[in-house]
Structures are given as structure tokens and as C-alpha cells.
Structure 1
Amino acid sequence: MAMAAMYTVGDAVGWTIMGGVDYRKWADHKDFYVGDTLVFKYSNQYHNVKQVSQKDFLSCNTTSPIATYMTGSDFITLKRTSHYYLLCGFPGHCEAGQKFEILVTPTSLRRTPSTVLSPSPSPSDDETSTITFTSTAPPLYSSNFFLAFKFLVFYLVLTGFFF
């Protein structure tokens, strides 16, 4: 069973407009699942965190937030599958790039450290002998070529082609 992850928004720089963090890129390189936590570290004299609708996110409208966080050390646990739209509500900060959106997916889709392949049960004598494979986790590599190559090698080893 995979553990929930904790992400410090902006990593070591935190939640600010002064650190040169591209929050969109920061979020794009991560997978977020139900149960994960976002940690916002910032000076609450100059920043806050607002969860807003997609429409308000796109226009940097902070007048009707879904939720507002102002402590300077906020822990936001992602409790449901959904798009989350987060921004700083201080004037001009959203427009300067202090915002990001994420898609939270079900915990059941969380990637595991390795992909385990197992053959389906052996067909009986009167069935066709087609071998199918199932994966217990999504592939860790995005290259379809690499995944196809792994399946081919596994199939050839399984059928005794190399021996």
C-alpha cells in the first residue's frame, strides 16, 4: 500500500513572488492523489493561499474563494478527486504567477516503485493458447516503445524462445 505524500509548495523557496518559482511547472512535474498534503510556507504579512473556482483562477479573481488560508504554515490535505485551483490573494501576486492548479486522482491509481507483470491463468486444452498480461500498476516510464520492448522480452522468455 502506497503512503500519502507531502509536498512543500515551491520546495525550499516556499510560497512567494520573490523566489523566481514557476508554480505551474512545479506542479506539472508531480502526481497528486487523495490523501496527499500540500504545505505552504510563507510570510502571512505578504501572502495567503486561496482555493478558488476555475473561472476565478483564470481571471485571478480572489473575491469569492472556496477556502482561505492565512497562517504562513498551512497544511492542505487533498480529500477528494478534483481539480484544485490555488493562488495568492494579495493584489498583483496571482497576476505575477503566484498560482497553480492540480488534478487530484484516486489513491488506487497511485504509482508503485515497480511495475509487476503476471501472466493470466493458463488456457485449457480446448481454448486457444493466447497469452495476455495484466499490470498491477501503471508503467513508470512514459515511452510506449520501452513498454512494448519489455512486454516482448517477457513474452519471449516466457515462451522459451531464448532457451
Structure 2
Amino acid sequence: MSSTKQFLVTLAIIGIVLPSVALATEYKVGDNAGWTNNFDYTNWAKGKDFRVGDKLVFTYPVGVHNVFKVNGTTFKDCTIPPLDEALTSGNDVITLAIPGNKWYFCGVGQHCAVGGQKLAITVLPAGLEAPAPAPNAANGVVASGFLALIAVILSFAI
């Protein structure tokens, strides 16, 4: 295969893979409120589509809160794991690497049990599109144009 064809094939592959990587989202848990107690994290998570590759960022004052990654039973009961399992930086970033249900809570005092400082989410596989609202004509044009570009690049490469 000539170097031009190899370049075009490589470019086409990058064009196919790059959009899924670029679409990863970083979520600041609690938005402007950050990671704190007496906040409705169930409502905060509602309507968000968490996917593999996305990141959760827990921001809070160091020493005031922490973050535990737990299982469903531990989450429900607010059973605090060993302290050495806590994330404590005040700016904890968790990359969502595996699809499925994920649970997090604060293990300081009664922040989980009484303060409601807990978050449960479902992580979808990367590239799996959640149900979308009615299509927008402009979005269809952009997607069609992108696919046409990939088809042209591949036709030159073959």
C-alpha cells in the first residue's frame, strides 16, 4: 500500500474514533454546589447520560468531606468502608471505565445517612446513544457531511 493510501486510511480511522473520544464529558458533581451535604444528588443526576470515558469531579473543602466508591448494599445502608479507601483530595476525579450501576457517598459523620450526601448513577457503554429528542435538521446535515467525508477518504484509499 502506498504511503498516501496508508495516510488516508489512518486519517479515516482517526476520523471515526476521534468523535467518540471527544464526546467524553466531565461532570462536576453538584455543579456549583459541589460535593456537599443536604443536596439532592438524585435530582442532579436526573437527565444526565453518563458514559464510559466520562469523568466525575467531586469538589469539596479538604477535611470536610470525602468520597467513597461503594457497592449497592453499602450505599443503601451508608456503611462506611475503611478510611484508607476514601478519596480525600478535595478535587477527586473518577473516570467512568466500566458500564453499570455506580455508587458514591461521603463517609464523614452522618453526611450520607442524614445529610443525603450520596450519588447513584448508571454508566452506559461508550458510543451507546441514549434516546434523543426529535432530530434537528442541522444535526442531520452535520452528521451526513461527516459520514460523506469519511466515505470520500476511504474511496481514495482503496
TM-score by length of 2: 0.66
Residue 50 of structure 1 and its aligned partner are, at CA, apart by 0.3
Report 1:6-155 matches (<5 A).
6-17=26-37, 20-63=38-81, 67-95=85-113, 96-111=115-130, 138-141=131-134
- Name whichever structure is richer in helix by fraction: 2
Aligned residues: 113
Instruction: Judging by fraction of residues, say which structure has more strand.
Output: 1
What amino acid is the match of 1:43?
P
Q: Give CA-to-partner distance per residue, 1:132-163, whole Å, 9 cap, x none.
A: xxxxxx4325xxxxxxxxxxxxxxxxxxxxxx
Contact 1:52 1:64 in 2 (8 A): no
| Alpha-carbon distance between aligned partners in 2 of 1:64 and 1:53, rounded to the nearest angstrom | 14
**Cα-Cα RMSD:** 1.9
Q: Deviations over 1:87-136 (max 9, x none)?
A: 0010100011100100001112135xxxxxxxxxxxxxxxxxxxxxxxxx
Counterpart code for 2:123:
V
**In 1, Cα distance between the equivalents of 2:97 and 2:82?**
21
Deviation at 1:64, TM superposition (A): 5.2
Instruction: State how far apart, in whole Å, the 2-side matches of 1:77 and 1:32 are.
Output: 11
Q: Percent identity?
A: 40
Q: Which runs of 5+ in 1 are unaligned?
A: 112-137, 142-163
Structure with larger RCO (C-alpha < 8 A, sep 6+): 2
Q: Which runs of 5+ in 2 are unaligned?
A: 1-18, 135-158
Considering only CA atoms, is the larger Rg found in Structure 1 or Structure 2?
1
